[in-house]
Homo-oligomer: A and B are copies of this chain.
Amino acid sequence: MNQILIVGTMAFDEIITPFGESGKILGGSASYISMASRKIYDGDIGIVSVIGNDFPDVYLEKFTNKNIDLSGVRKLENEKSFYWKGKYHNDLNKRDTLITEVNALSHFTPVVPDKFKKADFLMLGNLHPSLQKSVIEQMDEKPKFIALDTMNFWMDTAWNELMEVIEMIDILVVNDEEARQLTNEYSLVVAAKKIQQMGPEYVIIKKGEHGALLFHKKNIFFAPALPLEEVYDPTGAGDTFAGGFMGQLAKNGIINFDYMKNAVISGSNLASFTVEKFGTERLESLKKDEWSERLEEFSRLTQFDIELI
């Protein structure tokens, strides 16, 4: 049975949107990724992360109740948890960070639990590239599939380390702006080619409300974001996408372009729910028949009969 190991943050978010204020709620890349993976995949899922002394037990239980392994989550008794407060603009594509308290995260030394050292699927959430690399190096053998998320900040501050870890991975998952900065290319097709030359065989470029592109050699697949009447809170959409993607891959167990298309659709599908409420709320309440029904919507949204033409 495939294992999924997820490295990322577990944190407090406080989100202001035009529709309301969340107050302090559960956030962090590992939270979204693991919960999204769990929706699709029944096997072993573990998190490597760090929290502070203020991280509530009820939050931890959200994971353990879903049989998400937290043996790789270290609690620092003298630190508080990572905390981010942000405010979205009216159009929700832009946001301002109001507060970032790194707290426990500044002391994060990821330690992979023995039971996950042979994990087949490794998802490296957005963190300092040296930390991401150290996780790969702790594995007993190279996982079947390593996915990595990163951001502009590391391109600006840790370029060499980022290049080193990108060389070791199978897929890079970034947004359009990040892909452009990473390659200095405006065309996403050219950018994806350049990224493939840096190491990863596959590249996903997320375009937010405009969907996501999957690249592999000369193949391109496009998954739209589901057009929604209302987006309530975009926070976590990208991590939910990544989690659904990894969950689907682990479920199928096969790494090729066709299976990966489905994984991209699965991730897009789950992300379309996350944005309906604050934080992980919608993801937590999501039932299987809801997301399988929406998969049919994705199908109706994009499938056509070219024979008619």
Residues of A whose CB lies within 8 Å of any CB of B are 90-91, 186-190, 207, 210-211, 213, 219-222, 224, 227-231, 248, 252, 258-259, 261-262, 265-266, 295-296, 298-306, 308-309
Q: Copy number in this complex?
A: 2
Q: Is the CB–CB distance between B305 and A266 below 8 Å?
A: no
Question: In this complex, what residue of B is CB-closest to A230?
Answer: B187
Distance in angstroms between the alpha carbons of A296 and B222 in the assembled complex: 14
Interface centre among A90, A258, A259, A305 (most CB of B within 10 A): A305
Question: In this complex, what residue of B is CB-closest to A205?
Answer: B227
Question: In this complex, what residue of B is CB-closest to A222?
Answer: B224
Q: Is the CB–CB distance between B299 and A295 below 8 Å?
A: no
Question: In this complex, what residue of B is CB-closest to A185?
Answer: B229
Distance in angstroms between the alpha carbons of A302 and B273 in the assembled complex: 21
Among B189, B222, B258, the residue within 8 A (CB) of A305 is B258
Question: In this complex, what residue of B is CB-closest to A260?
Answer: B304
Distance from A99 Cβ to chain B, minimum over Cβ atoms (Å) = 27
Distance from A292 Cβ to chain B, minimum over Cβ atoms (Å) = 8
Chain B residues, Cβ within 8 Å of A224: 211, 222, 224
Question: In this complex, what residue of B is CB-closest to A257?
Answer: B300
Question: In this complex, what residue of B is CB-closest to A301?
Answer: B222
Distance in angstroms between the alpha carbons of A248 and B305 in the assembled complex: 14
Q: Known contacts A222-B224, A302-B221; is A295 also within 8 Å of B266 by CB?
A: no
Q: Is the CB–CB distance between B207 and A308 below 8 Å?
A: no
Distance in angstroms between the alpha carbons of A26 and B227 in the assembled complex: 37
6 tightest Cβ-Cβ pairs between the two chains A and B:
A210-B210, A261-B304, A222-B224, A189-B229, A302-B302, A189-B227
Q: Is the CB–CB distance between A300 and B262 below 8 Å?
A: no
Chain B residues, Cβ within 8 Å of A296: 306
Q: Is the CB–CB distance between A229 and B187 below 8 Å?
A: yes
Q: Is the CB–CB distance between B228 and A189 below 8 Å?
A: yes
Q: Is the CB–CB distance between A308 and B259 below 8 Å?
A: yes
Among B91, B252, B262, B308, the residue within 8 A (CB) of A306 is B262
Distance from A214 Cβ to chain B, minimum over Cβ atoms (Å) = 10
Among B91, B221, B262, B304, the residue within 8 A (CB) of A308 is B262
User: Can you list 19 A-B contacts (CB < 8 A)?
Assistant: A91-B186, A189-B227, A211-B211, A211-B224, A213-B227, A220-B300, A221-B304, A222-B302, A248-B309, A258-B305, A262-B306, A265-B304, A265-B306, A265-B309, A295-B309, A296-B306, A299-B306, A302-B304, A303-B303
Distance in angstroms between the alpha carbons of A261 and B307 in the assembled complex: 12
Chain B residues, Cβ within 8 Å of A299: 304, 306
Distance from A270 Cβ to chain B, minimum over Cβ atoms (Å) = 12
Among B190, B221, B231, B266, the residue within 8 A (CB) of A301 is B221
Chain B residues, Cβ within 8 Å of A227: 188-189, 213, 220, 222
Q: Is the CB–CB distance between B187 and A228 below 8 Å?
A: yes
Distance in angstroms between the alpha carbons of A231 and B190 in the assembled complex: 12
Distance in angstroms between the alpha carbons of A228 and B222 in the assembled complex: 13
